[in-house]
C-alpha cells in the first residue's frame, strides 16, 4: 500500500504556481483582454485548480499501483490528453479564441503535466511499509 507524499505534491504545486505567474506575465493580447478586474480572485481560482489536479494525479497514481516509473509518466500524459481534447473544442467553439491563444493555453497545461510527470512518479512516500 502506497501513500501520497504530500511534500512532493506541494513541491509540484509550487513549481506550477511559479510557472503560472511567469506564463500570465507573457500572455498574448487576446488573453490579456480576458483578464478580470479582480486579479486576486483569479489567482485564487488558478491556485485551487492547480492543487486539485496535482492531488488528482497523485491519487490516481496511488490507486493504480503501477510499478514502472515510465508507465506512470505515460498514464499522466494520457490523462492530460483525454482531458485536453474536449477542452480544445470548448475553447474553439464557445470562447471564440484564436489558434495562438488556444496553443498558449495548451502549452501551459503541457508544462504542468511535464512537471507532474517528472516529480510525482519518481518520488514515493517514505512512510510506505511495503516498499518495492
Higher pLDDT, 22 or 75: 75
pLDDT for res 33: 57
| Banded model confidence at residue 17, pLDDT cuts 50, 70, 90 | confident
> Does the pLDDT value for residue 80 go beyond 80?
yes
Q: Which of 42, 50, 23, 35 is nearest to 105 (CA)?
A: 23
- In this predicted structure, the answer to whether residue 63 has a pLDDT above a threshold of 60 is yes
pLDDT of 30 > 70? The answer is no
Tell me: pLDDT of 7 over 50. yes
**Whole-number mean pLDDT of the chain?**
77
On whether the pTM is more than 0.85, the answer is no
Are the beta carbons of 120 and 8 closer than 8 angstroms?
yes
Among 25-34, 90-99, 105-114, the least confident range: 25-34
DSSP the chain: -----HHHHHHHHHHHHHHHHHHHHT--HHHHHT--S-HHHHHHHHHHHHHHHHHHHHHHHHHHT---HHHHHHHHHHHHHHHHHHHHHHHHHTS---HHHHHHHHHHHHHHHHHHHHHSTT---TT-SS--
- Predicted local confidence at residue 1, as pLDDT: 39
Q: Is the pLDDT of residue 129 over 50?
A: no
| Phi, psi values for residue 93, rounded to 5° | -85, -40
Amino acid at each position: 500500500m502506497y501513500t501520497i507524499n504530500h511534500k512532493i505534491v506541494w513541491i509540484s504545486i509550487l513549481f506550477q504556481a511559479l510557472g503560472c505567474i511567469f506564463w500570465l506575465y507573457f500572455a498574448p493580447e487576446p488573453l490579456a483582454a480576458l483578464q478580470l478586474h479582480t486579479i486576486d480572485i483569479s489567482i485564487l481560482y488558478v491556485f485551487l485548480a492547480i492543487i486539485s489536479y496535482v492531488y488528482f494525479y497523485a491519487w490516481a497514481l496511488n490507486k493504480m499501483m503501477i510499478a514502472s516509473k515510465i508507465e506512470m509518466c505515460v498514464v499522466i500524459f494520457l490523462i492530460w490528453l483525454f482531458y485536453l481534447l474536449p477542452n480544445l473544442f470548448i475553447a474553439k467553439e464557445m470562447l471564440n479564441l484564436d489558434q495562438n491563444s488556444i496553443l498558449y493555453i495548451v502549452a501551459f497545461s503541457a508544462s504542468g503535466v511535464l512537471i507532474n510527470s517528472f516529480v510525482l512518479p519518481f518520488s514515493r512516500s517514505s512512510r510506505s511499509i511495503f516498499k518495492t
